Chains A and B, each alone.
Chain A
Amino acid sequence: MKTSKNRRWRLGAALLTTACLGLTACAESDRGGSGSDSGSDSGSDSGGGGGGTMVFAGSAEPVTLDPFFASDGESFRVARQIFEGLVGTEPGTANPAPLLAKSWTVSEDALTYEFELEDGVKFHDGTDFDAEAVCANFDRWYNAPESAQSPDLTYYYGSLMRGFATGPNADAAVYESCTPAEGTATVKLAKPFAGFVSALSLPAFSMQSPSALEEFQDDAAENPTTTEYSTAQPTGTGPFMLDAWERGDSVTLKANPDYWGEKASLDSLVFVAIDEPKARADALENGEVDGFDLVGPADIAPLEEAGFQIVNRDPFNILYLGINQAVKPLDDIRVRQAIAHAIDKQKVADASMPEGTKLADEFMPDLVNGWTEDVTKYEYDPDKARDLLEEAGATGTTIEFNYPSGVSRPYMPAPEDTFNVIRSQLEAAGFTIKPTSDRWDPDYLAKIQGTPKHGIHLLGWTGDYNDADNFLGVFFGQKSFEWGFENKELFTALDEARALPTVEEQTPAYEAINEQIMEYLPGIPLAHPVPSLAFAAGVSGFQPSPVQDEVFNTVTIEE
Chain B
Amino acid sequence: MLRFVLKRIALMVPVLLGLSVLLFAWVRALPGDPARALLGERANPESIARVTERYGFDEPLLEQYLRYLGALVTGDFGSSIRTGQSVTESFLERFPATVELALAALLFAVLVGIPVGYLAARHQGRPLDTIVMSGSLLGVATPVFFLAILLKLVFADWLHWLPTSLRQDARIDATHLTNFYVLDGLLTREWDAAWDAMVHLVLPGLALGTIPLAIIARITRASVAEVLNEDYVRTAESKGLTRRLISRRHVLRNALLPVVTTIGLQAGLLLSGAVLTETVFAFNGMGEYLFDAIGQRDYPVLQGFILFIALIYALINLLVDLAYGLIDPRVRVS
**Contact surface of A with B, Cβ cutoff 8 Å:** 16, 20, 23-24, 26-28, 30-32, 35-36, 38-39, 42-45, 53, 55, 61, 63-64, 71, 147, 149-152, 155, 222-226, 246-250, 270, 272-276, 279-280, 282-283, 285-289, 441-443, 445-446, 449-450, 459, 461, 480
Q: Are B170 and A44 in touch, CB under 8 angstroms?
A: no
| CA A287 to CA B38, docked complex, whole Å | 34
Neighbouring A residues of B164 by C-beta, 8 Å = 279, 282-283, 286, 288
For residue B165, CB closer than 8 A to chain A, the reply is: yes
A-B CB proximity, top 7 nearest: A223-B84, A442-B37, A39-B171, A225-B84, A441-B295, A151-B47, A442-B32
Which segment of B8-16, B18-26, B155-163 sits at the interface? B155-163
On chain B, the number of residues with a Cβ less than 8 Å from chain A's Cβ atoms is 69
Known contacts A27-B162, A283-B165, A286-B163, A442 near B279 by CB under 8 Å? no
Cβ of B10 to closest chain A Cβ, rounded Å: 33
Q: Are A30 and B279 in touch, CB under 8 angstroms?
A: no
Q: Are B168 and A63 in touch, CB under 8 angstroms?
A: no
Name the CB-closest residue of B to A464: B42
For residue B254, CB closer than 8 A to chain A, the reply is: no
| CA A270 to CA B170, docked complex, whole Å | 7
For residue B257, CB closer than 8 A to chain A, the reply is: no
For residue B224, CB closer than 8 A to chain A, the reply is: no
**Contact surface of B with A, Cβ cutoff 8 Å:** 31-44, 47, 50-51, 54, 79, 81-86, 89-90, 93-94, 97, 107, 111, 152, 156-157, 160-173, 176, 179, 192-193, 195-196, 198-199, 202, 279-282, 284, 288-289, 292, 295-297
Q: Are B36 and A445 in touch, CB under 8 angstroms?
A: yes
Q: Are B282 and A273 in touch, CB under 8 angstroms?
A: yes
**Residue from B36, B198, B297 in contact with A450 in the complex, judged by beta carbons closer than 8 Å:** B36
Which applies to chain A's interface (DSSP): helix, strand, loop or mixed? mixed
* Cross-chain pairs A/B with CB under 8 angstroms, 13 sampled: A16-B107, A32-B161, A38-B196, A152-B39, A248-B179, A249-B166, A249-B168, A272-B170, A279-B280, A288-B165, A289-B170, A441-B32, A445-B37
Q: Are B97 and A248 in touch, CB under 8 angstroms?
A: yes
Q: Are A42 and B163 in touch, CB under 8 angstroms?
A: no
Known contacts A31-B160, A282-B152, A288-B166, A443 near B32 by CB under 8 Å? yes
| CA A250 to CA B37, docked complex, whole Å | 25
Neighbouring B residues of A445 by C-beta, 8 Å = 36-37, 40-41, 43
Q: Are A42 and B173 in touch, CB under 8 angstroms?
A: yes
**Residue from B94, B160, B199 in contact with A23 in the complex, judged by beta carbons closer than 8 Å:** B199
| CA A441 to CA B295, docked complex, whole Å | 5
Q: Are A38 and B33 in touch, CB under 8 angstroms?
A: no
Q: Are B172 and A16 in touch, CB under 8 angstroms?
A: no
Neighbouring A residues of B84 by C-beta, 8 Å = 63-64, 223-226
Q: Are A283 and B166 in touch, CB under 8 angstroms?
A: yes
A-B contact count (CB 8 A): 181
Known contacts A36-B171, A150-B50, A248-B284, A31 near B161 by CB under 8 Å? yes
Cβ of A441 to closest chain B Cβ, rounded Å: 4
Neighbouring B residues of A287 by C-beta, 8 Å = 160
| CA A39 to CA B173, docked complex, whole Å | 9
Cβ of A158 to closest chain B Cβ, rounded Å: 8
Known contacts A38-B172, A223-B84, A274 near B166 by CB under 8 Å? yes
Neighbouring A residues of B195 by C-beta, 8 Å = 26, 30
Known contacts A23-B202, A151-B47, A247-B90, A32 near B160 by CB under 8 Å? yes
Q: A30-B195, A42-B173, A63-B84 are in contact. List 20 more A-B contacts (CB 8 A).
A: A16-B111, A24-B202, A31-B163, A35-B163, A35-B171, A38-B172, A149-B50, A150-B50, A152-B39, A226-B86, A248-B284, A249-B166, A249-B284, A274-B166, A280-B165, A283-B166, A288-B163, A288-B169, A289-B170, A445-B37
Q: Are B83 and A63 in touch, CB under 8 angstroms?
A: yes
Known contacts A222-B79, A279-B280, A282-B156, A250 near B288 by CB under 8 Å? no
Neighbouring A residues of B199 by C-beta, 8 Å = 23, 26-27, 30-31
Q: Are A442 and B192 in touch, CB under 8 angstroms?
A: no
Residue with the greatest number of chain A CB neighbours at <10 A, chosen from B32, B163, B171, B196: B171
Q: Are B169 and A35 in touch, CB under 8 angstroms?
A: yes
Cβ of A294 to closest chain B Cβ, rounded Å: 14
**Residue from A44, A53, A442 in contact with B36 in the complex, judged by beta carbons closer than 8 Å:** A442
**Residue from B157, B168, B202 in contact with A282 in the complex, judged by beta carbons closer than 8 Å:** B157
Cβ of A5 to closest chain B Cβ, rounded Å: 11
Known contacts A248-B93, A249-B167, A286 near B36 by CB under 8 Å? no
Q: Are A246 and B161 in touch, CB under 8 angstroms?
A: no
Neighbouring B residues of A275 by C-beta, 8 Å = 279, 282, 288, 292
Q: Are A43 and B171 in touch, CB under 8 angstroms?
A: yes
Neighbouring B residues of A152 by C-beta, 8 Å = 35, 38-39, 51, 54, 81
Neighbouring A residues of B166 by C-beta, 8 Å = 249, 272, 274, 283, 288
| CA A150 to CA B295, docked complex, whole Å | 22
**Residue from B36, B83, B85, B161 in contact with A446 in the complex, judged by beta carbons closer than 8 Å:** B36
Neighbouring B residues of A20 by C-beta, 8 Å = 111
| CA A458 to CA B169, docked complex, whole Å | 39
Known contacts A31-B199, A283-B166, A270 near B171 by CB under 8 Å? yes
Cβ of A44 to closest chain B Cβ, rounded Å: 5
Q: Are B83 and A225 in touch, CB under 8 angstroms?
A: yes
| CA A63 to CA B288, docked complex, whole Å | 16
Q: Are B79 and A273 in touch, CB under 8 angstroms?
A: no
| CA A339 to CA B32, docked complex, whole Å | 31
Neighbouring B residues of A71 by C-beta, 8 Å = 42
Name the CB-closest residue of A to B179: A248
Neighbouring B residues of A441 by C-beta, 8 Å = 32, 37, 295-296
Cβ of B173 to closest chain A Cβ, rounded Å: 5
Cβ of A522 to closest chain B Cβ, rounded Å: 17
Neighbouring A residues of B193 by C-beta, 8 Å = 42
| CA A23 to CA B182, docked complex, whole Å | 12
Q: Are B161 and A273 in touch, CB under 8 angstroms?
A: no
| CA A449 to CA B195, docked complex, whole Å | 50
